[in-house]
């Protein structure tokens, strides 16, 4: 395990009321830091951080990162951006602006305050890959004009900006590429496969399978992902990334559906639909770099993580 960083830092988290952001808020507060959570609540929710609102080391600011922000901080985690197809395709122009203008504004803040800055990039920078599993050295196969490109290319451009600021202005940057992550506080209507399957099963509805269900994904539990974030932020300054964070366990959509139905029970059936445009057929991270540089690898198996996530969605649907 890495040594804990004892000195209290002022840490900004953009997208801090979202799924990953709220768990990161919890972790950094628990580690003894002062946290400024910034969110415009397009996909984030106050329910995710309500338990922190009265905490003396937590502050919430409603703000859109496409506009400049003037605060004093030691570290910045830039997580702001809709991350599910349903949400990022709802307003694709705003999605691209959030990735690109948001990166420019946060990098400008980091330049002024000399803060170390972390970019939550995505496995979608690899597009529909021809290399499997995907190493960080793979440049990707992305459609630049498709319905998903607002997110894929926005994140690719943000990575470009981070590395240009690093080279030109000597900023300390940390870039991670996040593979599918799941767990409590996922949005029930975000269109992602784990939340889709669980909500449909709990409601007794048919499980929606796109294509033949043989396309694969790798699923990382949220606690493992947050541990990777923190280790990356605390890694030596000369290690910029990008680094893949995800669980290399690979499952077909049919296998995931079977696991969800086994946990939930009920009598939901499978319903097959056409595959969405540019939907990747394979997704699996090569995490050798994370193991080598961060001493990180996932600990939570899919079955255990799904049980926690199902329990969360049961509570949400009973409200």
221-232 residue pLDDT tens: 999 999 999 999
CB atoms near residue 219 (< 10 Å): 26
- pTM confidence score: 0.93
**Residue 64 CB contacts under 8 Å (≥ 6 apart), including other chains:** 40, 98
**What's the maximum distance between 2 C-alpha atoms anywhere in the chain?**
58
Task: Specify the CATH number for 10-183+219-247+280-298; select among 3.30.200.20, 1.10.150.570, 3.40.50.720, 1.20.1440.120.
Answer: 3.40.50.720
pLDDT of residue 319: 80
pLDDT tens column, 88-109: 777 899 999 999 999 999 999 9
Tell me, what's the pLDDT at 288? 98
pLDDT tens digits, one per residue of 266-281: 889 999 988 877 677 8
Confidence of residue 6 (pLDDT cuts 50, 70, 90): low
Catalytic residue among 126, 151, 165, 221: 151
Per-residue pLDDT, 1? 44
Q: Is 88 a catalytic residue?
A: no
Domain boundaries, the chain: 10-183+219-247+280-298
Q: 87: pLDDT confidence band, cut at 50, 70 and 90?
A: low
Q: Where are the alpha helices (DSSP H) in the chain?
A: 19-30, 46-49, 85-88, 92-113, 149-169, 193-202, 222-233, 253-264, 288-294, 302-318
């Amino acid at each position: 395990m890495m040594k804990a960083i004892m000195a209290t830092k002022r840490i900004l988290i953009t997208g801090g009321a979202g799924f990953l952001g709220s768990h990161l808020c919890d972790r950094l507060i628990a580690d003894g830091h002062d946290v400024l959570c910034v969110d415009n609540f397009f996909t984030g929710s106050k329910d995710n951080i309500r338990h922190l609102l009265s905490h003396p080391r937590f502050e919430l600011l409603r703000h859109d990162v496409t506009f400049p922000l003037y605060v004093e901080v030691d570290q910045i985690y830039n997580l702001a951006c809709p991350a599910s197809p349903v949400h990022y395709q709802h307003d694709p122009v705003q999605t691209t602006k959030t990735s690109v203008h948001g990166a420019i504004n946060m990098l400008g803040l980091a330049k002024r305050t000399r803060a170390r800055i972390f970019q939550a990039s995505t496995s979608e920078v690899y597009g529909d890959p021809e290399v499997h599993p995907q190493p960080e050295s793979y440049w990707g196969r992305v459609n630049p004009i498709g319905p998903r490109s607002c997110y894929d290319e926005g994140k690719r451009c943000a990575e470009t900006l981070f590395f240009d600021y690093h080279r030109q202005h000597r900023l300390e940057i940390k870039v991670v590429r996040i593979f599918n992550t799941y767990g409590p506080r996922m949005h029930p209507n975000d269109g992602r496969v784990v939340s889709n399957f669980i909500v449909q099963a709990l409601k007794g509805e048919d499980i929606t399978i796109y294509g033949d269900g043989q396309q694969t994904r790798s699923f990382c539990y949220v606690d493992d992902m947050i541990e990777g974030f923190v280790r990356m932020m605390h890694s030596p300054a000369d290690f910029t990334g990008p680094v893949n964070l995800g669980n290399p366990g690979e499952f077909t959509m049919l296998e995931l559906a079977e696991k969800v139905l086994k946990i939930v029970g009920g009598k939901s059936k499978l319903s097959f639909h056409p595959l969405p445009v540019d939907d990747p057929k394979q997704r699996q991270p090569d995490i050798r770099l994370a193991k080598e540089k961060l001493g990180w690898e996932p600990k939570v198996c899919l079955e255990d993580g799904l049980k926690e996530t199902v329990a969360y969605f049961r509570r949400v649907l009973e409200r």
